[in-house]
Amino acid sequence: MAGDIETRQKPILSVRNLEVSIRTAVGDLRATGGVSFDVAPGETFAIVGESGCGKSISSAAVMGLLPRAATARADRCEFDGQEMLTLSRREREKIRGNTISMIFQDPMTSLNPVYTIGNQLMEVFLRHKKGTRAEARDRAIFLLERVGIKNAAERMKAYPHQLSGGLRQRVVIAMAMMCGPKLIIADEPTTALDVTVQMRTLALLAEVQKDFGLAVILITHDLGIVASLADRVVVMYAGKIVENAPTRSLFRAPLHPYTQGLIQCIPSHGPAGADAPLHTIPGMVPSLIGRHEGCSFRNRCALARPECAVGEIGLTAFEADHGYRCVVPHQTLMAHWRETEGMKA
Amino acid sequence: MSNAPAPLDNMDIALPTPRQQSWAMAKRHLGLQIGLAIVLVATFAALFAPLLAPADPYAQDLTARLAPTIWQEGGTWAHILGTDGFGRDVLSRLIYGTQVTMIVGFGAAVFSGLIGTTLGIIGGYLGGRVDAVIIFLINVKLAMPGVLIALSLVSIFGGSLLSITLILSLLFWDRFAVVTRTATQQVRTREFIAAAECSGASKSWILLREILPNIANQIIVIGSLEMAIAILVEAALSFLGLGIRPPMSSWGILVSEARDFMFYKPHLVLIPGLAICILVIGINLLGDGIRDVTEPQGRN
Amino acid sequence: MATPRTTPMLSLRDLEVRFTVGRRLIGRPKILHAVNKLSLDVERGEFVSIVGESGCGKSTLVKTLLGLQAPTAGAIAVNGKDLSDYSRLELAHMVQPIFQDPYSSLNPRKSVAANIALPLILSERPLPEQVTERVREIMRRVGLPQRFENSYPSQMSGGQRQRVAIARALITRPKILVCDEPTSALDVSVQAQILNLLRELSRDLDLTCVFISHDLSVVRRLSQRVAVMYLGRIVEIGKSEQIFQVPHHPYTRLLISSILPPDPEHHLPPARWDGGGPDPTNLPEGCHFRSRCASPQPVCATRLPELVDYEGTRVACLAYEPGATWKPQSTPC
């Protein structure tokens, strides 16, 4: 696709034009329509958007974890030089938990309640690596200590239900590290956690990533998490990437009206005081069933104009690595951002 | 606004109502359709037996005993499925037998459903001591050898249609109670129950208007299962001579009467046996189908 | 707050809710103090938020306020009358809830109109025309198009469902609205819509609101007063601006520093794991927060702090009692 932004470094994961559709009773649902992105080794790459925008289904497609009613196709979907969508189930299982690990919102989806955590950590290692049980045990203890669990050797004997939610999520992080992955996909990793625990868990994730030099795809709805953790961000809306930028650039100059609205409606954005109402994005996300032309955001957009309804809208480059999918020129978009921000101050 | 863009064309794709959704699924559900067809045919046969039956099911004709069926050599259109050992028309007896089979099956499912569901939702919703008593009742019931008790009760109270239906109901309520109790416990924790309580709803309102509609599909599924079992047990009782008394016709009696000719006129056993088998499968298909198309609506 | 005032709309006095957990054969059963000697007055028309993390007792408090859970000790008065003196229907007319999960708070087998009308039908036994009229009126009020009347909850988005729940809560024009994390299951952009709606409705209808949340940032723009709860007790309560600008209690500070603003200049502090809170079924002597506090003092282990007035807010921390010689450091998370 013209206008796509290529990163200079050879990406660890490269996705071009990923389309996932799901058969439903009322018609085909286009969960994602032509998603393209690159994840560089060692970077934190955030996919941000609201429910139903296609952020989780994109990573599920890469991992081959789609529900049965869904089909995925892409021009390219390469992890470490290997095309992912055409892999057999066995080949994919060799990758899962080994070179790519996943962390989900609910730690209990990754932990089996009937085995001790030590057992499960070692299991992951022994399944993928040719090592002895003693090596697996050493690595498990090392990683549990790394994620801040005291008396790791003792805790290996604990069952998941004996740990608090925050502790469980740390165990899941340790488990994701067992085979020394190149990429971790973290899907809303802290949404189920208390706020004070969330911050520590994110800080831990960032530290672990830096120590081991791995890439992280962070899937979240929370721009606060993106701002404090990610190197680069794509913003998704209704199955499409609407903006693609380095984190600093995105928050300094959010161009797409949806990105602007998403930042502004966060309760902690803008001045305090009981008298200012929160910024809202009016209306709601359109149905993804069937095909539709033009921009899917136009019914909620303050800057909408007739061109918005016509054709396929491509990604326009604002800076070399900052693109946005909107027909409105970036000067107008920036002026709109400043104006709405000014109204709040 | 003149420069507004064309609206999103699919903005107003209305999602179907739960009923429309169930209907759309039913139209594609082959098992449901086959099951429904079988049950409808059986119900129709039971309701209109006097009009459908080609002959009097009780009229004996000793000159035409054990007449062959239409596809056997010497078969005639007068007796499509042949005649039995007393020369009665098998087809007519089969059609009349549907009445007993359907009344016993349906009646037992409804009565046992009433008993079991009442106990189940009360126990599941109220919990505590009431629930403990109901669990005790269920356990007692589960510990009883059902068919043996049915046999002895039938031999005491006789094999009238009513007594058999009631006795079978008393035997089969436990599964309703177990399932509805668990289902109620799940529904009870949902916030709309708390919202109804906060609106001042009485217990009976919550049980009947809030909980019952949400577990209705499970009750129907269990009902279909119990109906099928009741039909089988009725057939077994009749076969053993403890059910409906001859000359009344029931499918179990047809099998029982054909015992003596089993080895040289096997179709006399096979035809009612097959009828039982098809109806039971049909009822089960229908129940499974209903479960599939009416499963709880929060499907996204 | 020494000003003479009218009867508060909602008044909690030394409210206690205890549960027995894990009955054991030998020894004493474990007691969980979900709500522990909690006192709070909410004035007519006031918007008060109660903030705390899981296990702080906020859900139990909600149930108790709604009359779904009997208090073990202490008293709740609604409009000057004890909660236990209300009949179910009278209480329903005074207090209505909005729950967390709009997917579970509506009966999926009933249409939107039937869901909304429930409190009205139960309490006023109106004519069918009146029901339709009142339902339409309240649907307009909460921003639900009339075409949804005969829809079912499964056909609606989370935000729309939460509007249905709000309409149901308001149809009998109650005085008090108890909101139990009403936006935590919603998307950010929808959350903002619902928060604004609640804010607007509470003002226009002179509602008294108790808003429960685990996230301080959500309540910042909403509430006049904020109470922070930790292990069944209020540890700090005061005017919203004050709590956010000058938080005193170390736990309030920890909560505020846990808010992640959409600002790339904001950096995560290094992960530091405190020992976690104490076992809630076996609370130690002294301050319950001291194992997580950045500057615990020996005296903290001796006495449980009570709420004391300090610069316009009320704080339960020994450092703010008259004569204390130290102030807690701001917790570096």
What is the average per-residue pLDDT within B67-77?
75
Q: How confident is the model at residue B5 (pLDDT cuts 50, 70, 90)?
A: low
Cβ–Cβ contact A56 with B under 8 A: no
Q: Is the model's pLDDT at B3 over the cut of 80? A: no
- pLDDT, chain B, mean: 85
What does the pLDDT read at residue A150?
83
What does the pLDDT read at residue B78?
74
* Contact status, residue B58 vs residue B247, Cβ threshold 8 Å: yes
What is the average per-residue pLDDT within A295-321?
89
What does the pLDDT read at residue B124?
95
What is the average per-residue pLDDT within C44-68?
92
Decide which of A52 and C94 is more confident. Answer: C94
What does the pLDDT read at residue B10?
45
What is the Cα Rg of chain B in Å?
Answer: 25
Largest CA distance in chain C: 68
- Out of A164, A224, A281, the one facing C262 most closely (by C-beta) is A224
Q: Which chains touch B (3 or more CB pairs under 8 A)?
A: A, C
- CATH number, domain with residue B92: 1.10.3720.10
What does the pLDDT read at residue C23?
66
B10 lies in some domain = no
Side-chain-side CA neighbours of residue B226 (13 Å): 31
C92 and B18: CB-CB below 8 Å?
no
Q: Which two tokens stand for residue B263?
A: 């080895």
B16 lies in some domain = no
Question: pTM for this one?
Answer: 0.88
Q: Is the model's pLDDT at A345 over the cut of 60? A: no
A286 and B8: CB-CB below 8 Å?
yes
What is the average per-residue pLDDT within B219-237?
90
What does the pLDDT read at residue A3?
41
Give percent helix, percent strand, percent coil of chain C, each to the nearest 5: 30, 20, 45
- Out of C187, C240, C244, the one facing A221 most closely (by C-beta) is C187
What does the pLDDT read at residue A256?
95
Per CB-CB distance under 8 Å, the chain A contacts of B16 are 25-26
What is the average per-residue pLDDT within A318-326?
92
A28 vs chain B: nearest CA distance in angstroms?
12
Instruction: Label residue A119 exposed, middle or buried (CB < 10 Å: 0-12, 13-18, 19+).
Output: middle
Cβ–Cβ contact B247 with C under 8 A: no
* Contact status, residue C171 vs residue C134, Cβ threshold 8 Å: yes
Segments forming the whole domain that contains residue B221: 29-55+66-298
- What H or E segment, with its residue span, contains residue B70? none
pLDDT tens digits, residue range A126-173?
A: 999 888 999 999 999 999 998 888 888 999 999 998 888 888 999 999
Q: Which residue is associated with the tokens 């650039």?
A: A249
Q: Is the model's pLDDT at B2 over the cut of 50? A: no
Cβ–Cβ contact A289 with C under 8 A: no
pLDDT tens digits, residue range C144-155?
A: 988 889 988 888
Chain B and chain C share a number of CB contacts under 8 A equal to: 88
Tell me the ipTM for this assembly: 0.88
B11 lies in some domain = no
> Over pLDDT 90: what percentage of chain A?
52
What residues have CB less than 8 Å from A156, skipping those under 6 apart?
A116, A117, A118, A119, A121, A137, A140, A141, A144
Interface test with A, best of C47, C100, C188, C193 (most A CBs within 10 A): C188
A226 and C262: CB-CB below 8 Å?
yes
> Over pLDDT 70: what percentage of chain B?
93
Of all residues in chain A, the one with the smallest CA distance to B7 is A299
Q: Which two tokens stand for residue A341?
A: 């921000």
Q: Is the model's pLDDT at C47 over the cut of 80? A: yes
pLDDT tens digits, residue range B246-289?
A: 677 888 888 888 888 888 888 888 888 999 999 999 999 999 99
pLDDT tens digits, residue range C221-245?
A: 889 999 999 999 999 999 998 998 8
Nearest to B213 by CA among B108, B135, B297: B297
Chain A, window 39-98: residues with a beta carbon less than 8 angstroms from a chain C beta carbon: 50-51
Q: Which chains touch C (3 or more CB pairs under 8 A)?
A: A, B
A299 vs chain B: nearest CA distance in angstroms?
6
Which domains are assigned to chain A?
13-99+181-344 (3.40.50.300), 106-178 (no CATH)
What does the pLDDT read at residue A8?
57
B191 and C104: CB-CB below 8 Å?
yes
Q: Which two tokens stand for residue A96?
A: 């899962």
Q: Is the model's pLDDT at B122 over the cut of 90? A: yes
What does the pLDDT read at residue C292?
86
What does the pLDDT read at residue A269?
81
Q: Is the model's pLDDT at B79 over the cut of 90? A: no
What does the pLDDT read at residue C165?
96
What is the Cα Rg of chain A in Å?
Answer: 21
- Out of A194, A265, A272, the one facing C192 most closely (by C-beta) is A265
Q: Which two tokens stand for residue B178?
A: 């177990």
B209 lies in some domain = yes
- pLDDT, chain C, mean: 89
β-bridge partners, A48: A220, A235
A239: left (phi over 0), alpha (psi -120 to 50) or beta: left
Q: Is the model's pLDDT at B64 over the cut of 80? A: no
Q: How confident is the model at residue B56 (pLDDT cuts 50, 70, 90)?
A: confident
> Over pLDDT 70: what percentage of chain C?
95
What is the average per-residue pLDDT within C49-70?
92
pLDDT tens digits, residue range A226-266?
A: 999 999 999 999 999 999 999 999 999 999 999 999 999 88
What is the average per-residue pLDDT within B108-120?
95
pLDDT tens digits, residue range A210-225?
A: 999 999 999 999 999 9
B39 lies in some domain = yes
Long-range contacts of C305-309 (CB under 8 A, 24+ apart): C307/C234, C307/C237
Q: Which chains touch A (3 or more CB pairs under 8 A)?
A: B, C
Instruction: Label residue C299 exposed, middle or buried (CB < 10 Å: 0-12, 13-18, 19+).
Output: middle
Chain B, window 43-102: residues with a beta carbon less than 8 angstroms from a chain A beta carbon: none
Q: Which residue is associated with the tokens 């109806």?
A: B279
Of A171-180, C113-122, C322-331, the range with the lowest mean pLDDT is C322-331
Interface test with A, best of C59, C154, C157, C189 (most A CBs within 10 A): C189
A275 vs chain C: nearest CA distance in angstroms?
7
C108 and B195: CB-CB below 8 Å?
no
B191 vs chain C: nearest CA distance in angstroms?
4
> Over pLDDT 90: what percentage of chain C?
56
What is the average per-residue pLDDT within C146-169?
91
Cβ–Cβ contact B194 with C under 8 A: yes
What does the pLDDT read at residue B53?
81
> Over pLDDT 90: what percentage of chain B?
42
* Contact status, residue C169 vs residue C96, Cβ threshold 8 Å: yes
> How many structural domains comprise chain B?
1
